[in-house]
Amino acid sequence: MTDVFSPQQPIPAELLGSLVDSTACLSDALRLRQSFAESGYVFLREVLDRAEVFSARIEVFERLAQVGEIQAPAAEGIATGASRRRELVGDLGAFWKSVSEGPLLRRVTHGWRLRELVSLVFDASARPHDYLFVRPAPVGNGTDLHYDYPFFAGRASQIVTCWVPLGEIPISDGPLVVVEGSHRLIGAIELMRLTGDPRTFAATRDAAYQSTARGARLLTAHFQPGDVIVFSGFTMHGSLDNHSPAGRVRLSVDVRYQPATDPADDTRYFGPNPVGPKGGAYGEQKAAQPLGTLWTAQW
């Protein structure tokens, strides 16, 4: 295996492991929920419509091509190494909102199939957040390890994240990783939430330390279009750095779901103009900056 990094930190080969494939559990909803409880996630292969995923990929990359960031053909996702986004776009936040609300993308993230899958995990009807994260990661970028719970809990009784690769993502291109067994640290997270700032416990750049400190591995996979991983708000996750030899941008999207019966009045995540976790709407996301800007936090 080639050397891998998670943001700018080398990951020893012995700390890498494979995600458990739970696709076979789809025929038994109880078994699926047991797998989710045991692992903190369910990894499902080829459960979304590949053509719809590919269409969403093209939709996003064509928008980036319009601002000089992606070479033709856009579907390949090869970065130009330059950007005219600041020059051509008056409002970076508004531009990124329009990308994030693309109809072909939303067909994947808010479509019946993903909603059905999450409903199986909840054993109840599921509802997606309106606010989501499209993540085009060029070579050199990765996402810090973090928990979603402190940022997205709101008044919902349960929050899960659906991470969807918008195209093939081999190990070299910086796929998602989860810290094995990290969902079992719920007590520590709750303590931070009640006695201090949960954000101080939410993110770290040293993935190797976080894994070895827990006697755990970083679990990942060679993702294909149609795959999805659904994980708990208490599952520590991030990504490997993108070291694509072809200069390919790793494209993924993550959207949070909650039970449909829970309140959906949190203006951070619901409504036509959600303000986002920090109040900056879509403009606060790292991806709102021109492609190639180094990500220094999980957003």
Provide CB contacts within 8 A for 254, sequence distance 6+.
Answer: 132, 133, 135, 161, 162, 163, 164
pLDDT in tens, 152-164: 766 777 889 999 9
pLDDT at 177: 95
pLDDT at 5: 56
pLDDT in tens, 250-263: 999 999 999 999 99
Distances (CA, A) of 124 to 11, 46, 157: 38, 23, 12
Q: What is the DSSP string of 262-290?
A: S----TTTSSSS---TTS-GGGGSGGGSP
Q: What angle do CA 287, 44, 76 make, to 5 degrees?
A: 45
pLDDT at 3: 55
- Return the half-sphere exposure (C-beta side, CA atoms, 13 A cut-off) of residue 235: 28
Between β-strands 250-259 and 126-137, what pairing exists: parallel, antiparallel or unpaired? antiparallel
Taking the whole predicted model, whether its pTM rises above 0.85 is answered as yes
Provide CB contacts within 8 A for 28, sequence distance 6+.
Answer: none
CA gap 239, 249 in Å, rounded: 14
Q: Strand (E) positions, 46-189?
A: 126-137, 145-146, 160-165, 176-179
Q: Domain segments of the chain: what residues?
A: 13-288
Phi, psi of 14 (to 5 degrees): -70, -15
pLDDT at 297: 47
Q: Is 189 helix (H, G, I), strand (E, B) or coil?
A: helix
Q: Is 142 helix (H, G, I), strand (E, B) or coil?
A: coil
> What's the farthest any 2 CA atoms get from each other in the chain?
53
Chain-centre distance of CA 100, in angstroms?
A: 13
Q: What angle do CA 69, 71, 72 make, to 5 degrees?
A: 135
CA gap 18, 38 in Å, rounded: 15
pLDDT at 142: 86
CA gap 50, 52 in Å, rounded: 5
pLDDT in tens, 186-209: 655 554 554 344 444 444 445 445
The dihedral built from the CA positions of residue 254, 61, 56 and 289, taken in this order, carries a sign that is positive
Averaged pLDDT, groups of 10, the chain, 299 residues long: 56 88 97 96 98 99 98 98 96 98 99 98 97 96 80 76 98 94 69 44 48 74 98 90 96 96 93 94 96 64
Chain-centre distance of CA 101, in angstroms?
A: 16
Check whether domain 13-288 has CATH 2.60.120.620, yes or no: yes
Query: Of 226, 237, 219, 107, which Cα lies nearest the Cα of 165?
Result: 226
